[in-house]
Amino acid sequence: MGRIGRALAHRARAFGLRVLYHNRSRLAPGLEAGAEYHADLRAMLPRCDILSLHLPGGGGVLMTRELFGLLPRGAVFVNTARGSLVDEDALHEALTSGHVAAAGLDVFAREPDYDLRFRDLPNVFATPHMGSATEGTRDAMGFQALDNVAAVLAGRPAPDAL
C-alpha cells in the first residue's frame, strides 16, 4: 500500500468503506490510518467487495482464475496498475459468469491494443490509462525530451535513448 494505495484508501474511508490491504510488508500504524493488513492475499480476497490493484508490474500475472474465484460473488474489480497483472481470459470469465459484478479498467495486457471482448460488456467501464495525465508529469516528459535533444545537438548521447 504505497502512495497511490494510501490515497485511494483515504478516499474510500470518506465513503464509509472499510479498507483492507495486502503488501509485501505491513505499514507503520500511522500510515495504515485504520486499514487492516493481510499478510496472505488469498485469505484477504474472500473479504473484498471491491478489489483495486495498485502495484508495479513485471512480476507476472497476479489475478488468475483461482484468485478471481476467491472474491465473493458480486465483487467489483478495478485495475489501474498494470494490465500484465491480470489474466484477461479469467477476468472475462468472471465478468460474464456474474462472479465479478463489474470491472473498471484503464490498463490492459496488450497496450495500446486491448481485448475487444471487454468493450462490449455492459459491466465494464474502460478508459485510456491516465497515469501520466498530470500537468507536472507532462511538463517533466517535455523537459526530458528537450534534455535529450540538447545533449544530441551538443554531441553527447541522449540520456534516455531507446
- What sign does the dihedral 58-59-60-65 (CA atoms) show? negative
- 36, 65, 111, 138: the catalytic one is 111
State how far the Cα of 100 lies from the Cα of 137, in Å rounded to an integer. Answer: 34
Tell me the CA distances in angstroms from 34 to 4, 6, 13, 61, 130, one per residue in order. 16, 11, 9, 29, 28
Active-site position among 82, 88, 93, 156: 82
User: Is 119 marked active-site?
Assistant: no
Q: Is 156 a catalytic residue?
A: no
- CA pseudo-torsion sign 57, 137, 115, 1: positive
User: Of these residues, 129, 135, 138, 156, which one is catalytic?
Assistant: 129
Distance CA(58)–CA(11), nearest Å, equals 27
Q: Is 88 annotated in the active site?
A: no
| Active site residues per annotation | 82, 111, 129
